[in-house]
Amino acid sequence: MAKIKKRGESGAAKNYITRTQALKKLQISLSDFRRLCILKGIYPREPTNKKKANKGSSAPASFYYSKDILYLLHEPLLAKFREHKTFAKKLARALGRGEWALAKGLEERKPLARLDHLVKERYPTFKQALADLNDPLSLLSLFERLPRDPVPGKTQVPTEVTAECGKLLAEWKIWAIRTHALRKVFLSIKGVYYECEVPAGRSGETVNVRWLEPWEFKQTVPADVDFRILLTFLDLYRTLTSFVLFKLYTDENLVYPPQLDVKLDAEGEGIGRFKLAERAPDALAATTVEGEKKITKKDVKKSIRSVAHSSAAAGGMQVDEEEDVLIKDEPAAEEEFTYHPSKHDAEASDPSNAPLPTYTSLLATAPSDGPATAEKGYNIFAPYTFYLSRETSSRTWEFVIRAFGGKIITTPSLNALSTVPEVASQITHILLDRPMDAATMRTLQGTNKWTWVQPQWVADCVNKRTVLPAGEGSGYEPGGTLPPHVSPWDEEGRDDRPWLGTEASAAAAAIEAAASEDEDEEMDTAEAGEELTPALRAAAENPQDSTLVHQAELEAEAAGVDHAAFKKQLAGAAKKGAAASGSKPAAAAGGEEDLRKIMMTGKKQRLYEKMQYSNNERRQESDKLASKRQAIEKRKKKGGK
Amino acid sequence: MPPKRTPTASRAAGGSKRNANANSKANPPPAAAAAAAAPVSRKPAAVKRSREDDRDAPAHSTEENLLAGKINGGGGKGKGKASARVAEEDEEEDQDDAEEFEIDTGSSNGDLDDFLDREALESPADDEDEEDDDDDDEEGYNTSDIEAMENASGDDEQDDDDVDDTSSIASSSIAPSTVPDSNLTLDQLIAKHTYKPDENMDIYVSQATGGRPLVGDATTGKFSNSKEGTGRLVPSKFVKGALMREYDEIEAGYGSESSTEENTNTIGNVPIEWYDDLPHIGYDVSGRKIMRPAKGDELDKFLATVEDPDSWQVSLPPGVCSPDIAYKLLQKQVQLSDKELDIIRRLQNAENPDADFDPYQETIEWFTGKGNEMTMPLSAAPEPKRRFVPSKWEHKKVMKIVKAIREGRIVPNKPVVEKPRVYGIWSNDDMENPPHAMYMPAPQIPPPRTVESYNPPEEYLYDEGEKREWEQQEKEDRKLDFMPQKHDALRHVPGYENFVQERFERCLDLYLAPRTRKVKLNIDPESLVPKLPSPKELRPFPTACAVQYRHPANSRVRCVSVDARGEWVASGSEDGIVRVWDLGNGREVWRWNLKGGPVQAVEWSPNKEECILSAAVAGRIYLLAPLALISPHVAQTTLTHLNTAFSSSSASTTNIASGKPVVPDAKWVRPSEDERDRGMMIIIEVQGTPKQVTWHRKGDYFATVAVDATNKSVLIHQLSKHQTQSPFKRTKGAVQRVAFHPHKPHFFVATQRYVRIYDLVGQQLLKTLMTGLKWISSMDIHPLGDNLIVGSYDKKLCWFDLDLSTKPYKTLR
């Protein structure tokens, strides 16, 4: 006889555990459990049958996978939590008794929880870590600018945390600048979206990392935002980002963490306060992954080869490093080394006419794979030097422009530029975000050839990977009406806007023309339709039948209609008939479809209807957009006339 | 009595009236009034006086003006302890006091008591009880009580008036005759506890005070009532001239709860308002009514508050319960003295109520300290060595540590080697975890669309309607969590106010939102629709009407059947006529008027050698043969087949051939010769209205279904034997349709929901097909016998493959 199955011993009942049960099992408080869940990445599940999972009860509960909870039982973090609890007790006792020496000793031996093992555990491969980097970078960029007490009287954000967030983000951005990893920029009402393409391994795989940076304003923080949760997340994210950065820097053969230039930092420099440094050749072998314990012959050979390689390239690299640092730290000072861009505006705006990169400029801008980067348009701004006006966000534009090879000048104010002619002559583009009349611009410009643009121009160039024309009439000039800023991710998804391209507008025009023609014709046929004789109608229905046509002709003659008029009538009637028959097959097809739907099983039918519904929704949405667009264009046309 | 009606006086009058009602015979109100009229002096300090003394020297009493007139007429006396309480006021001084004094004249035991009482009352200063102050009956404490307590510290407190009375009476009889004034209380105490009342004597006893000898009858009184009845004899209320025994009240001992109770109202915790309309306010322990004490009207109260400087004391402090209850229960006003207030205050402050109690008194060292040293030790053993020699094991442990330090194994304050903060944790040969069904990574936030742009194309902006809709929608229902905006320059873009909120919600989602795996189908919906051949490919099929079989206008055709050889069409109509038509040209070639209401079914025999048409009307089945139309050979076979049974058996054909159940109600009738000439060959009379006739393939058997014929709804008729059977004794459900299997001896019966297959030979149920339909309307079997189609009134069609399952192979709508 088969073994009798008992209730609640297998399946969903065993697979899932409610939160209360989990708390009991782990013997921790709810807040500790929350921290554990956040750090370990444990999340509740939605069982297919809640009643089965909850042992027959239908009371609302959140279910966890019971093996997750079992693994938590021997989590080192849990032990650390307990250690910390006892430590807190001891410290409070010592402080309460005024035993300062003891308290100091305790404080020195304070148990510190490290999250290294979690990073490796949650992201076994580097690719997975990169794939999950969107949220960390977004949260870091939020915390970068948060005040110490975002919600007064509640959890405080330590300043060290905020500072570390800023540091990590700056390191990330420096890396992106150096490797030209930035791909897309999108200025949204929520903030600036960036997308970087990050190499995920040796095999040439890349992962797109997208993050959102808020606008540089004071954040409105609702009182119900629990910063304990956010800070727990931030703990994990800081650790994860630092390990990712370590890997990225090491792969680039850079020292991590980069050195912080204290002087520049004090001056309020953003990204530029960090100095990148190449690693010493002998460090290469040492910094192989810790996991590799045994040193095989292969390893030895490899290290020898790498050492030889690096020593061979040492001279060039040294130059490169110096260049890089120079560029980063004092952009104005290294102008003499850069190529002077062409004086002609047209040439300047056309990338095909852009000057050929010299050896030094290539090294400076593209230390790793210069030509490839240039080909793909990842250093479109290489020939240019941008002057950032005060009102533009240097945090955003310095990063974007430098990531695409451009150079930045911010130091003297716009009015004072004329006093420093050697700086002014270097500038090719002025990034200005305020209206300014042409006369003022001319006076400021003097003899220099500057292109005045609004910041959106940079973002649009980046997304198109070409240098867009920025003269009068393009809309990018200061005070001009900007062309719409479109999301670079629209092609990836379902949003299609055929009317935005050039060919699309032609298509739209064609549609419109057809519509107007239709209107005319409709009027014609309406006139003709009144006097259709039965014979003519029959002839129109099948114009190939010569006898019917002949009959109709005879009738027309009898009625005194001349031949040309009759021909026209016949054609109109035939067209109408065709339209009618055209709709008829459609109807027939509809009937046939109904027949086919009868043959579907209920399950498939439901699925089919669901799909049709969602497709319809989408179609309606895009139709709505299109019709709105048409209405707008019509209105504009009328206004123009 | 002065004519002036002061508040107190009125109160007194009221009280006296009430008391007079309650008072039985003992105290006539005039007497009480007389007693009250005379100023009775009283010593508040519980100075006990004998009755004689009081009688003699009312004027001697020092505090006459105090008028503490309370004459307590003897204790445990019979029923109505009915104290005629008349408060008399001293016109001059007592108005100021506004203090209520009572003159209690209780009836004493028996007649003699009464008499004496009356005597006593006549003498105005007759204070018969010595403890006038202590026990103002049924009242709580009052000032004088407390004072009395104070003064007579050694005195046992007597709360219960009645008890006091009895005991005092008793005590009077035994107490020493000459007692000095100062020892009075002690005497009382002794007397009370040593003397028992004598019920037989009925002598009014009073206690001597002021050095006078006690007038008791110690000589004649019986000290114990244990021997001869315990009650006093009193004249019976019920029988004139008889005596009845009345018992003493039981004195509760000190340990008893009731001994401490001063509240003798026993009504319990019921609203005192229930007694509002009654003269009494409750009952004491022995069930006697407690009369309502005199109470002033509002004016009295007001005057009292105005004139009495102590009036504030009347209201009890909050939180003090028991005096309050006593106050309510006894409907009296309570006055609290300073001492009482002090006690209350102490209780409220959780202190010891006794003001003299010292919680911090010196401890008395009984066993330790100086002078208490023991001269002899408990043990004479000498102090062991281990008490003063260092431990060897500790020494060993310490040496171990010392050695370790010397060898450098233990380094004090060794610097901890910090693990580097970051290091390479990923190598190139990392492997992803094997895929697992329970691994559900969080979905990423989708990339932003153009609608989120700070400068989107105009068509993305909301018009008025959309704006209103967005604003009215709940936050969860919105398609976008922001309203699209267009700014003409980047500097005009404000900060996004929901940024923190959105980040926070994302974090909450990451760790709180239950996750589940959803398979996202990325297929073309058209691939779900099955491919069907288009109707064009199914040609040729009839597309136009070829032949019409025209019936008269008023007849509605109910059933049609085509004969096996395809020559004739038979139709049955509602007017009861069966018509035979030429199939090819639509001409009517034959007709039978069955005259039995609408024709329910017509069916040709499937045998091609014969030409038999069966038609069913209500209660009858006709077997018809258009003999004139068919070829002679066929006609011959038909006739032979139809008539064999007529020739073999007698005309009545309800024979019982085998063990099969034969239906007696089905009657095979041979029609008249005329009718037979017209082709009506046999009439079968059955129960109910047959709705369906179905033939076996060989044409010998046919089955009919008449739903309204209960258990005989299904009948199987055999043509060659003129025999009818009802195969089922009892049918499960209403049979809708039946059918013969084409080549097996199987019989299909469709009830409303199921189709059952019976083996006719084995006479057993083979299968039940679950159609899943609501109401079966029709059924047909494929000629090869392995497929069955069942139709239903709910517009469904079930297709069964009989080889496969009892569930439909396909259900079509």
User: Which among A116, A219, A632 is the nearest to B500, CB-wise?
Assistant: A219
Cα torsion through A99, A104, A109, A113, rounded to 10: 100
Cα torsion through A568, A569, A573, A575, rounded to 10: 10
Please tell me the distance in Å from A544's CA to the nearest CA on chain B.
Answer: 22
The pLDDT, as a whole number, for residue B292 is 82
Q: How far apart are alpha carbons B289 and A629 in whole angstroms?
A: 101
Q: Tell me the sheet residues that pair with B792.
A: B776
* Three-class DSSP category at B638: helix
What DSSP line would sit under A101-132, residue for residue?
HHHHHHHHT------HHHHHHH-SSHHHHHHT
Cross-chain Cβ contact B813/A65 below 8 Å: no
Q: Which residues contact A464 (CB under 8 A, 6 or more apart)?
A: none
Band of pLDDT at residue B190, cut at 50, 70 and 90:
low
Q: Do A289 and B426 meet the contact criterion of CB atoms below 8 Å apart?
A: yes
The pLDDT, as a whole number, for residue A168 is 94
Ordered domains of chain B (ranges, CATH): 7-312 (no CATH), 557-731 (2.130.10.10), 752-813 (2.40.10)
Q: Do A259 and A272 meet the contact criterion of CB atoms below 8 Å apart?
A: no
Q: What is the pLDDT of residues B638-690, one digit of tens each?
A: 888 888 877 765 444 444 444 455 566 688 888 888 888 888 888 888 888 88
The pLDDT, as a whole number, for residue B278 is 86
Q: How far apart are alpha carbons A349 and B788 in whole angstroms?
A: 80
Q: What is the DSSP letter of B237?
A: S
User: Which contiguous run of DSSP H or E holds residue B105?
Assistant: strand B104-105
Residue predicted with more confidence, B346 or B132: B346
Cβ burial of B162 (10 Å; 0-12, 13-18, 19+) is buried
Q: Which chain B residues contact residue A289 at CB under 8 A?
A: 424-427
The pLDDT, as a whole number, for residue B508 is 95
* Three-class DSSP category at B777: strand
Residue predicted with more confidence, A128 or B265: A128
The pLDDT, as a whole number, for residue A462 is 93
- B-interface mutation test, from A43, A63, A189, most B Cβ less than 10 A away: A189
A465: tokens are: 């990977």
The pLDDT, as a whole number, for residue A531 is 54
The pLDDT, as a whole number, for residue A246 is 95
User: Which among B424, B454, B482 is the nearest to A290, CB-wise?
Assistant: B424
| Number of residues that make up chain A | 641
Helix A134-143 vs helix A159-179: angle between axes, to the nearest 10 degrees?
A: 130
Q: Do A134 and A237 meet the contact criterion of CB atoms below 8 Å apart?
A: no
Q: Does residue B240 surpass a pLDDT of 80?
A: no
Q: Do A211 and A194 meet the contact criterion of CB atoms below 8 Å apart?
A: yes
Cross-chain Cβ contact B457/A44 below 8 Å: no
- Say yes or no: B521 contacts chain A, CB-CB below 8 A: yes
Going by DSSP bridges, is the β-strand pair A407-409/B787-792 parallel, antiparallel, or unpaired? unpaired
The pLDDT, as a whole number, for residue B280 is 86
B487: tokens are: 């700014």
Query: For B60-67, what is the mean pLDDT?
Result: 40
Cross-chain Cβ contact A43/B440 below 8 Å: yes
What DSSP line would sit under A433-487, residue for residue?
-S---HHHHHHHHTTS--EEE-HHHHHHHHHHTS----STTSS-STTS-PPPP--
Q: Does residue B452 surpass a pLDDT of 70?
A: yes
Q: Which chain B residues contact residue A120 at CB under 8 A?
A: 425-426
Q: What is the pLDDT of residues B2-54, one digit of tens each?
A: 444 444 334 434 444 444 343 434 344 443 333 333 443 444 433 344 444 44
Please tell me the distance in Å from B728's CA to the nearest CA on chain A.
Answer: 38
B194: tokens are: 């040593």
Band of pLDDT at residue B250, cut at 50, 70 and 90:
low
Cross-chain Cβ contact A246/B422 below 8 Å: yes
Q: Is the peptide bond before A158 cis (omega within 30 degrees of 0)?
A: no
Can you give the pTM of this predicted structure?
0.55
Q: Do B191 and B172 meet the contact criterion of CB atoms below 8 Å apart?
A: yes
Residue B535's closest chain A neighbor by CA?
Answer: A592
Q: How far apart are alpha carbons A140 and A165 in whole angstroms?
A: 5
Average pLDDT over chain B reads: 72
The pLDDT, as a whole number, for residue B193 is 58
- What percent of chain B is predicted at pLDDT more than 70? 64
- Say yes or no: B807 contacts chain A, CB-CB below 8 A: no
Q: What is the pLDDT of residues B220-231, one digit of tens each?
A: 444 444 445 566
Please tell me the distance in Å from A359's CA to the nearest CA on chain B.
Answer: 32
* Three-class DSSP category at B246: strand
Count how many Cα atoms sit within 13 Å of the Cα of residue B289 in the half-sphere of its side chain.
16
* Three-class DSSP category at B487: coil
- Say yes or no: B417 contacts chain A, CB-CB below 8 A: no
Q: Where are the domains of chain A?
A: 12-108, 116-286, 334-464, 600-641
Residue predicted with more confidence, B442 or B238: B442
Residue B515's closest chain A neighbor by CA?
Answer: A45
- Say yes or no: B423 contacts chain A, CB-CB below 8 A: yes
- Say yes or no: B420 contacts chain A, CB-CB below 8 A: no
The pLDDT, as a whole number, for residue A197 is 94
The pLDDT, as a whole number, for residue A257 is 87
Q: What is the pLDDT of residues B67-121, one digit of tens each?
A: 333 334 333 333 333 333 433 434 444 444 434 434 343 333 444 444 444 444 4
Q: How far apart are alpha carbons B602 and A556 in whole angstroms?
A: 58
The pLDDT, as a whole number, for residue B254 is 60
Q: How far apart are alpha carbons A461 and A348 in whole angstroms?
A: 14
The pLDDT, as a whole number, for residue B651 is 42
- Say yes or no: B427 contacts chain A, CB-CB below 8 A: yes
Q: Do A435 and A412 meet the contact criterion of CB atoms below 8 Å apart?
A: no
Q: Tell me the sheet residues that pair with B789.
A: B780, B799
Q: Which chain B residues contact residue A287 at CB under 8 A?
A: 424
Q: Does residue B180 surpass a pLDDT of 50?
A: no
Q: How far apart are alpha carbons A387 and A119 in whole angstroms?
A: 41
What DSSP line would sit under A339-353, residue for residue?
PPPPS-HHHHH-GGG
* Three-class DSSP category at B65: helix
CATH architecture of A334-464: 3-Layer(aba) Sandwich (3.40)
Q: Cα B348 from chain centroid?
A: 40
Q: How far apart are alpha carbons B727 and B719 in whole angstroms?
A: 16
B479: tokens are: 């398609």
Band of pLDDT at residue B247, cut at 50, 70 and 90:
confident
Cβ burial of A76 (10 Å; 0-12, 13-18, 19+) is exposed
Q: What is the pLDDT of residues B304-345, one digit of tens each?
A: 666 655 545 444 444 444 444 456 667 777 778 888 889 999
The pLDDT, as a whole number, for residue A592 is 66
Cross-chain Cβ contact B455/A456 below 8 Å: yes
Q: Do A343 and A353 meet the contact criterion of CB atoms below 8 Å apart?
A: no
Cross-chain Cβ contact A490/B433 below 8 Å: no
Q: What is the pLDDT of residues B727-753, one digit of tens each?
A: 888 777 888 899 999 888 899 999 988
Q: Do B725 and B663 meet the contact criterion of CB atoms below 8 Å apart?
A: yes
Please tell me the distance in Å from B705's CA to the nearest CA on chain A.
Answer: 32
Rg (CA), chain B: 61
Cross-chain Cβ contact B500/A221 below 8 Å: yes
The pLDDT, as a whole number, for residue A236 is 96
φ/ψ (deg, to 5) at A4: -75, 130
Q: What is the pLDDT of residues B782-806, one digit of tens each?
A: 989 899 999 999 888 999 998 888 8
Burial code (b: 16+ CB inside 10 Å, e: under 16) for A99-111 equals eeeebeebeeeee
- Say yes or no: B514 contacts chain A, CB-CB below 8 A: yes
- A-interface mutation test, from B503, B518, B812, most A Cβ less than 10 A away: B503
Please tell me the distance in Å from B422's CA to the nearest CA on chain A.
Answer: 6
- The 3-class secondary structure across A355-388, one letter per residue, is CCCCHHHHHHHCCCCHHHHHHCCCCCCCCCEEEE
Cross-chain Cβ contact B452/A250 below 8 Å: no
Which single residue is written with the structure tokens 């009295």? B300
Handedness of CA A221, A222, A223, A225 (dihedral sign): negative
Q: What is the mean pLDDT of each run of 10 residues along chain A (641 residues)?
A: 83 92 94 94 93 88 94 92 95 95 92 92 94 95 91 90 93 93 95 94 87 93 93 96 95 88 73 76 46 48 56 39 37 36 38 40 44 73 91 91 91 83 89 88 86 93 90 85 90 51 46 49 45 66 70 76 76 66 52 74 88 90 90 86 59
- For chain B, the 3-state helix, strand and coil shares in percent, each to the nearest 5, are 25, 15, 55
* Three-class DSSP category at B636: helix
Q: What is the pLDDT of residues B539-566, one digit of tens each?
A: 888 888 888 888 888 889 999 999 888 8
Helix A134-143 vs helix B499-512: angle between axes, to the nearest 10 degrees?
A: 140
User: Which among B425, B427, B525 is the nearest to A243, CB-wise?
Assistant: B425
B231: tokens are: 């009650």
Residue predicted with more confidence, B132 or B230: B230
Q: How far apart are alpha carbons A524 and B598 in whole angstroms?
A: 61
